Structure 1
Amino acid sequence: MIISPPFLPTAGLTSTDDTQTDPMMAAVAEFELAHGIFPIAFDRRWHCGVHLMPNEQHEPVRAIADGEVVAYRIAKTAISDGRIDSTTGSPALNSNTGFVLLKHTSETGDGRTLTFYSLYMHLLDLVTQNGLAAQLNNPDADSSPIALAAWLLQASNPDPDGNYPVRPGNNLRVYRKDVLGYYGACHGQPHLHFEIFMTEADFNEYFVKDNRTQLGATSALTPESKDYWGCSYYVISNGQMFHSMPPGQTDSDHFPRLTDGQLASQSILYVQAYFHKGERYTRSWIDAGNGQMTLLTPTPVKDGFKHYEYQLYRRALELYPNCPSEGYELLRFGRILSTDLPTLPAGAAQSTWVAVTFNESGKQGYVDISQESVQKLSDADFPFFMGWQKIGDDNTPFDADGLCNFDELKKILHDVEPAGAPAKDEPEYKQEDVLSAYVKDKQAIRQKLQGFVCKAPSEWNSNHNATRYAALNEAGGFYAEQKDTNPNGYGDFIKFVEKFQFWDKTPLPSNEKLWFFHPLEFLRHFRKCGWLSVKELAQCIPRKVIDQTKSAAYQTVYPTGIVQWSTAFNRANKYCRYLNYAFRLYGISNSAVRLSSFLGNAIQETTYLSRTSEANGANLSYAPWYGRGVIQLTHEENYSRYGKFRGWVGSAASYRDSLETDLARACDSAGFYWVSCAKPTGREHNINSDADAVPVILQATLSNVCGVYNYHAKTCSIALSSMKFRVCKQFERTARAVNNGNPDSTNAMYGIVPRTNVFLASMAKLSDFIVDFNDSYMQKES
């Protein structure tokens, strides 16, 4: 699942903060406004989206994921909320009714399909928009990350009441990062109203069915499911002991000395662990028995063993010699997710000692998380202690009139501090003022609200207007108080509201409630997923390819140099599941640069996912040890190293051919190559030098992990193709490291052009960079 926020400012592409795991989401969070808080509006009604306003009006609104258009409205001009422009004396055109509603279906794991919707409301009208940003003379018919597509530039005439029509999607498709418009305003307040929601059926299928997640649970258990992504979490209790040094590891450089200690018997320790830029980080919270969690680590704590993630391979070899690959999983996940590994012998060999902060003084000690008493989860489980709360009909703070009850809200937030609640007999506006100040001015409360997953009616469905706004026209209500001076006030207000509403023009359920997420929290969470759908992987195969050999085999596969969508999809479908398991196990999908660098090599080496061995391998001088797998292992030594890592018994010849015939092994061996280098250089066991501590392939990739990649167009020097191709010096270092073990080599290298083509196509698909590579690279569903 590849997803991103509706704005992609350049400030979010990099960060100087090494602990900032998602600088783009941090940048977009700064756009959230105080008058559009999720899930409570200023008037105590449901507000199931957020209001976002970038610093620059010309920052485009973009699709957050690939999807299909459900409905949309293009307005030629803005409308008025009834206020008069003091300069012209005419009604102020201060509100925008334009919107786009998208449906997204993607995958978050093996057999785990997620269907959800995103709404972009108050998009700028065409008149104002055309004065803001020049549009292309020949715009794309359906989608473009560079400019508005043709369908977004066509406004119908309004009806006699000034309402612009809502149009059905009619099979229109968009892709992540496509421009949808620019943010407009409502009541003169510039912003984009942004929502993410799910229908009841889709929500139950993903979150409830077969207990696939722990959303709504009040305790945490290690799941039976092998579904895993994002951060790891450990729940530690029962007076657990912490050690300054794991037993038997006194002389090990893997375990810097820490502190002995013990958890109080009534306390529960919650630990979050994750890898970032090669280091291992943790955060800890403690519940001292009162049901309240106290943060022990104001900033994430970096493990004392440097380059922890990059040294996982070496660590696994030394700590789990009987089956390093199983140990590798324990070190990365805290549990074993694979099902085809030899089993480590019981006892000390299975122990997984990790450093955690365990008390208010910030002391760290080692704990063995392999114990059954330690519960082990991931972000895939939506654990309650990370703030996720399911707000349904049984625990909603909203009453029958659709107004939020202050006391009930405080109760589900576990907030026991006095907050100046108004007396019950005070006017309604006092209730609104107090609640508005409560949710706006307390950052801790707003943070808790971000974890709410709310079952609520849509404000864009006119069927709910009578319930939602009835109090405004009842005794003491805003419009009831104006009956004498503004007798049509309530009716005019409802007409204004209906100009934005569109629900009856969509195929969505007309009377049921929906499940809403804080949209930025939803994005922040699922951006950790990293599992590619088949369609997403297929888009990483460039539409046009160049192969320097122009061999007969190549011309048979791609006689025109064009990869058709059906070909790309079918090949991606064959490999996708197994590649995803390798991406997850070896941390390859932890960043777009890592994943694009891997695919740039793997897709080229498999001749665009068509084979798992070198062409004509049996006739090569080093046969029968020719290259097999997605990133091809060659020579007997490297096959033996892989077998040792997997814990296989027998000669390398006994399993050698399986790397060609078994897709799971073909993909897993490529992940092994990526983290081990598979070419002994005499450096991988030397940790005296920072550079030597990082495997050579990762050195090449990491050197520019946050940099801006420089792409230069070139033309073939010999008559291979009329297509111009691009070079990227940063990626070339990774490709050379994979190909010959030396990222700084300057020798002629086979396949550098097609590898770069795939890398660029993958970066265009997977990263947050806006790259215009035109049809030479972009693969679209036909």
Structure 2
Amino acid sequence: MIISPPFLPETHDANSTDPVMDAIDRYEMAHGIYPVAFDRRWHPGMHLTPRMQNEKIRAIADGEVVAYRVCQHAFDGGGGVRDSNAGFVLLKHTTETGEGRKLTFYSLYMHLLELDGYNDHGVHSDVLPSFLRAPSPGPNMQPPVVAPAQAGGDRRVYRKDILGLTGRCHGQQHLHFEIFMTKPDFDAYFGHSQLGEEQVATPATGDYWGNSYYVIPPQQQFLRLPVGADAHHKLNGIRFDELRAGRNAGTLYVETWFHKGSKFTKVWRDAGAARFELLTAEPIREPDYEYNLYSRASALYPGCPSDGYEMLRFGRVLSAPVTLPEAARTTWMRVAFAAGQEGYVDINNQGILKLSDADFPFFKGWKKIREGGGPFNADGLCDIDALKKILQDAKDHETPQEAAQTEEYQKEDALVRYVKTTEGVREQLRGFVCEAPSEWDSTQNEDRFRKLKDSGEFYDGNDAGYTKFLRLLTSFQFWDHTGLPAGGKLWFFHPTAFIRHFRRCGWLSKNEIAQCIPRKILKLQGRQFVPVTNQWPAAFQQGKAWHIDLNLSMRKYLVASTMQRVTHFLAQLMEESGFLRLVREIGGEQRSYSPYFGRGLIQLTNLPNYEKYGVYRKFPIDNASAASDFHALRWNPNVLIAQDNISFNRANCADSAGLYWVCPVMTAVGKNSLKTSDLGIDVANVVDSSKSTNGNVVNEKINGLECRLQSFIYIKYILLDLIKSDATERLSFVWRRNSEQEPILNPDGTPMLDPHTHRPKKKFYPIVHTIQVSLERQSP
């Protein structure tokens, strides 16, 4: 799933796991509290104000245009001044978050700036898609009136496409931003999660993404060192810090995640009355834990390092079938069991529950907010105790000046101040998932809002104010042009909380993988660049063929934990596999050093690497008889089985590529490629990743470097939050070519021979190439 916020500010916080979302949190305006307004009407959106008035609003994901309205002029918001904007775009998004996990949701961008205002901000309206450059048809009246909305037709947008600039409502500049789901779509997706459940359980399925969570029941034994550790605090050669022994008094809720090599752990204690006490003022940090997972798994789980890797990664084995026996799955994790006290606990204990962000656990603040069963009450007001209490608390703390205000947007000040200054309220609201009607649905407006005129309610004794409110609201409403059911309820999310959460899901849909296959690549043949074109039908078939196995591999080996890592990984796969078409080295069988030729999405080559992969996976020995074409080899079951399984098993083609990426002893330069990909996205970083994948240490040649670099540049605009300024990007790179006949010499003056071909190795000299990389995309 690829998703981003509606603004994309530049950020440079290397320590943050999501610096863009941290920046967007600062865009959240004081007004427009999600999910309820001061007068108890639902307000299931949020208000965002960018740093600069000319900062563009962008689509948060690829999607279909459901409805839209483009306004030439601003409108009178009720005070006799043209201070409000009625322009909007409503998008529908369909993506995936896991195997068989389709997610459909909608995003709404309201109060888009009128076309007349673009010049005032130094922006030309031609930055918009063509359908947003002309005002919606309507009566040409003075003063201007709001034109009807328009249906989206077959229009589509890509993520990051510009939708407009920030407009105003009642003179306040902001974007009203919503994310919601229809009830059928919500039930289809969240019916299989643990959202709203306070009795959680370890999922029976392999659906997993994001951070890991562990629920540890009271009175578990924590040890100062793992069982079996020697006098040097080592277990099977892996060193553990000496901690403390003890037991936890109450239930513990543990969150773990990896970031740039380190493992981080936070722990809360159940303090009763729905309160959680944080035991770790700073997350427990274990440096280089992530980069060393292969060596750690190989040492601690010799019965099957592959399964052990998943125990360290997920706290359970998600792959099937499971090879590692239950008794060999002991996994010692460092956890705080009391304030200032840490020890080791075996998380393979069946009494310890294992979850992930895919489960939306309640102890992370996720909570379903709904009124009693049946249709929404005719009064249209929120009567949920948790929200009514917040509103009443805000009213009780009004200043005299706030109490004297009469306009709805002015009365919001008391609520805003209360939410901002009362600890925990804003965080609580961000986790609320609310069932409510859309304020843009005009069905039964009078029935829904007339209670606002009752004694003690917001418009008590203020009929003129009520009429003005209803007139403006009706002019902005547009639900009859969406094709969505009218008069019902939807499920709303705090928009930026939704985006931040799902950005942790690195699962790519078939369409998204297909989009990552570059449309045009220049391949160097001799001294000439020859274009290679990848059309959508073929790309989609490759995305369809690989999207399960490739995603499982990227998830397992932590490639999918950031889109920067995914970009580096996929850029290498494009060259290694011929744009996901090949899993066997072309002509490898005919070479003198076969059968050690390349296999897999990253071409696994050479006897030592096949041995390592066979040992890592613990392939059954009795399958060696299937490797009939390898009888010429000396008897080595690990080699035979690894070659056989990679050649003919799509899952192993992807899995071996993932292992190669994180296993320093397999890569060409002895580095963990995750670590290399974490360093950045400059050309030099991509060259380093390319060396690690298919470099030659002796002569520094990198096979297919031009394809790897172009693929990276193309993919980074698909997956990252970068904004492209043109249809191409200039690329300059050094590619080392053979001299005419000059060989590399040994110290004794004799030619150095290639160990595979037994031919003299040639010297390589740097030649700089400069080309334009096409960023052209295709829609399905």
TM-score of Structure 1 vs Structure 2, range by shorter chain: 0.7 to 0.9
- Which residue, 601, 626, 640 being the options, matches 1:653? 640
CA shift at 1:285, angstroms? 0.8
Query: What is the alpha-carbon distance in structure 2 between the residues aligned to residue 298 and residue 404 of structure 1?
Result: 37
Please state if 1:256 is matched with 2:254: no
> C-alpha offsets along residues 659-693 of structure 1, whole Å, 9 cap, x if unaligned?
12211010000001001135378x97xxxxxxxxx
Of 212, 216, 237, 1:232 maps to 212
Q: 1:457 to 1:405 in 2, by over 3 A?
A: closer
Matches within 5 A, 1:15-54: 15-16=13-14, 18=15, 20-54=16-50
Q: Which moved more, 1:615-624 or 1:524-533?
A: 615-624
Match of 1:730 among 685, 706, 710: 685
How is 1:471-490 mapped onto 2 (pairs within 5 angstroms)?
471-475=451-455, 481-482=461-462, 486=464, 489-490=465-466
- Secondary structure of 2:461's match? helix
| Separation in 2, partners of 1:4, 1:746 | 42
Residues of 1 paired with 2:699 and 2:684: CA distance?
11
How many Å apart are 1:417 and its aligned residue?
10
Within the candidate set 649, 654, 666, 1:667 is matched to 654
Q: Are the equivalent residues in 1 in contact too, given 2:69–2:136 (CA < 8 A)?
A: no
What is the RMSD computed on CA atoms of the aligned residues? 2.9
Q: Please give the secondary structure, in 1, of the residue aligned with 2:213.
A: strand
In structure 1, the partner of 2:280 is: 297
Shift in Å at residue 249 of structure 1? 1.9
Question: Post-superposition shift, 1:780?
Answer: 1.8
Aligned to 1:753: 706
Matches within 5 A, 1:609-628: 609-628=580-599
Q: CA deviation at 1:479?
A: 5.1
Would you say 1:80 and 2:76 are equivalent positions? yes
Deviation at 1:478, TM superposition (A): 5.6
Please say if residues 460 and 502 of structure 1, whose CA atoms lie closer than 8 Å, have aligned partners that are also in contact.
yes
Aligned residue for 1:656, secondary structure, equals helix
1:741 to 1:2, Cα distance in 2 relative to 1, 3 A: farther
Query: Hey, what's the Cα distance between the residues in 2 that align with 1:418 and 1:263?
Result: 38
Distance (Å, rounded) in 2 between the aligned partners of 1:746 and 1:41:
67
Q: Are the aligned partners of 1:539 and 1:778 in contact in 2 as well (CA < 8 Å)?
A: no
2:405 and 2:170 map into 1 onto residues whose CA distance is 22
Q: Flag structure 2 segments of 5+ consecutive residues without an equivalent.
A: 622-636, 729-773
Within a 5 Å distance, the mapping from 1:103-502 to structure 2 comes to: 103-135=92-124, 147-159=127-139, 160=141, 162-208=145-191, 212-250=192-230, 251-252=233-234, 253-264=238-249, 267-303=250-286, 306-342=287-323, 344-347=324-327, 349-359=328-338, 361-394=339-372, 401-405=379-383, 408-409=386-387, 420=396, 437-475=417-455, 481-482=461-462, 486=464, 489-502=465-478
2:394 touches 2:414 (CA, 8 Å); kept in 1?
no
Q: Distance in 1 between matches of 2:439 and 2:370?
A: 17
Q: Structure 1: how far apart are the matches of 2:305 and 2:171?
A: 62
Quote the Cα distance in structure 1 between the aligned partners of 2:284 and 2:444: 48
CA distance in 2, matches of 1:156, 1:453: 33
Q: Given the superposition, is the C-alpha separation of residues 339 and 105 from structure 1 closer, same or farther in structure 2, using an over 3 Å criterion? A: same
> Match for 2:154: what amino acid?
N
Looking at structure 2, the residues matched to 119 and 403 of structure 1 have their Cα atoms a distance apart, in angstroms, of: 22
* 2:507 paired residue number: 531
Deviation at 1:383, TM superposition (A): 0.7
Shift of 1:442: 1.7
Compared with structure 1, are the counterparts of its residues 277 and 595 closer, same or farther at alpha carbon in structure 2 (3 Å cutoff)? same
Instruction: Verify the 8 A CA contact 1:677 1:738 in the aligned structure 2.
Output: no
Say which SS state the counterpart of residue 709 (structure 2) adopts.
Answer: helix
Distance apart, 1:746 and its partner CA: 7.1
Separation (CA, whole Å) in 1 of partners of 2:715 and 2:369: 38
Instruction: Show the counterpart of 1:95.
Output: 84
Q: For 2:377 and 2:288, how far apart are their aligned partners in 1?
A: 53
437-446 vs 457-466, greater mean Cα deviation: 437-446
Q: Aligned letter for 2:650?
A: L
Counterpart check, 1:769 vs 2:748:
no
- Cα distance, 1:275 vs. partner? 0.5
Pair 1:236–1:464, CA change in 2 (3 A)? farther
Alpha-carbon shift at residue 168 of structure 1 (Å): 1.2
Q: Does 1:739 align with 2:694?
A: yes
Q: CA offset at residue 491 of structure 1?
A: 3.2
Change (3 A) 1:279 1:324: same
Distance 2:404 2:727 in 1: 60
Which residue is equivalent to 1:66? 62
Which residue identity does 2:204 align to in structure 1?
A: E
Gaps of 5+ in 1: 84-90, 140-146, 685-694, 711-727
Check the 8 A contact 1:243/1:365 in 2, yes or no: yes
Aligned partners of 2:446, 2:423: CA distance in 1, in Å? 33
What number of residue pairs does the alignment pair up?
A: 703
For the residue of structure 2 that corresponds to 1:522, the secondary structure is: helix
2:628 equivalent in structure 1: none
Question: 1: CA distance between counterparts of 2:455 and 2:111?
Answer: 32
Amino acid at match of 1:734: S
Q: SS at 2:551's partner residue?
A: helix
User: Residues of 1 paired with 2:4 and 2:615: CA distance?
Assistant: 40
Distance 1:180 1:416, change over 3 A: closer
Partner of 1:716: none
Q: Deviations over 1:689-713 (max 9, x none)?
A: xxxxxx3423432332xxxx45xxx
Give distance in 1, aligned partners of 2:273 and 2:136: 60
> Quick check: 2:588–2:595 contact (8 Å CA) kept in 1?
yes
Letter in 2 for 1:763: K
Distance 1:427 1:57, change over 3 A: closer
Cα distance in 2, alignment partners of residues 480 and 679 from structure 1 = 75
Q: Please tell me whether the aligned partners of residues 696 and 741 of structure 1 are also in contact (alpha carbons under 8 angstroms).
A: no
Q: How far apart are the structure 2 equivalents of 1:216 and 1:93?
A: 43
2:779 and 2:168 mapped to 1: Cα distance?
Answer: 34
Superimposed CA distance per residue, residues 102-140 of structure 1 (whole angstroms, 9 cap, x where no aligned partner) = 00000000010000000000011111023324337xx5x
| Greater Cα shift, 249-258 or 515-524 | 249-258
Give the drift of 1:152: 1.3
Cα gap change, 1:465 to 1:31, in 2 (>3 Å): same
Partner-residue secondary structure (3-state), 1:82: coil
Looking at structure 2, the residues matched to 477 and 239 of structure 1 have their Cα atoms a distance apart, in angstroms, of 51
What is the letter of the counterpart of residue 337 of structure 2? Answer: F
- Report the secondary structure of 2:118's partner residue: helix
Distance 1:427 1:79, change over 3 A: closer
Tell me the CA shift for residue 395 of structure 1.
Answer: 8.9
Which amino acid letter does the alignment assign opposite residue 576 of structure 1? H
SS class of match (1:273): strand
In structure 2, what is the Cα distance between the partners aligned to 1:427 and 1:770? 46
Give the equivalent residue in structure 1 for 2:751: none
**In terms of mean alpha carbon deviation, does 629-638 or 465-474 score higher?**
465-474
Larger mean Cα displacement after TM superposition, 199-208 or 39-48: 39-48
Cα distance change, pair 774–611 in 1 and its aligned pair in 2 (3 A): same
2:452, 2:667 → 1: CA distance? 75
Distance in 2 (alpha carbons) for counterparts of 1:323 and 1:657: 18
The CA distance in 2 between the partners of 1:150 and 1:421, in whole Å, is 49
Measure, in 1, the Cα distance between the counterparts of 2:591 and 2:51: 60
Distance across 1 between alignment mates of 2:392 and 2:484: 40
Q: Distance in 2 between matches of 1:365 and 1:170?
A: 60
Distance in 2 of aligned mates of 1:580 and 1:57? 39
| Alignment CA distance shift 1:44-1:729 (3 Å) | same
Aligned partner (choices 494, 516, 521) of residue 545 of structure 1:
521
Contact map agreement 2:261 2:675 (CA 8 A) in 1: no
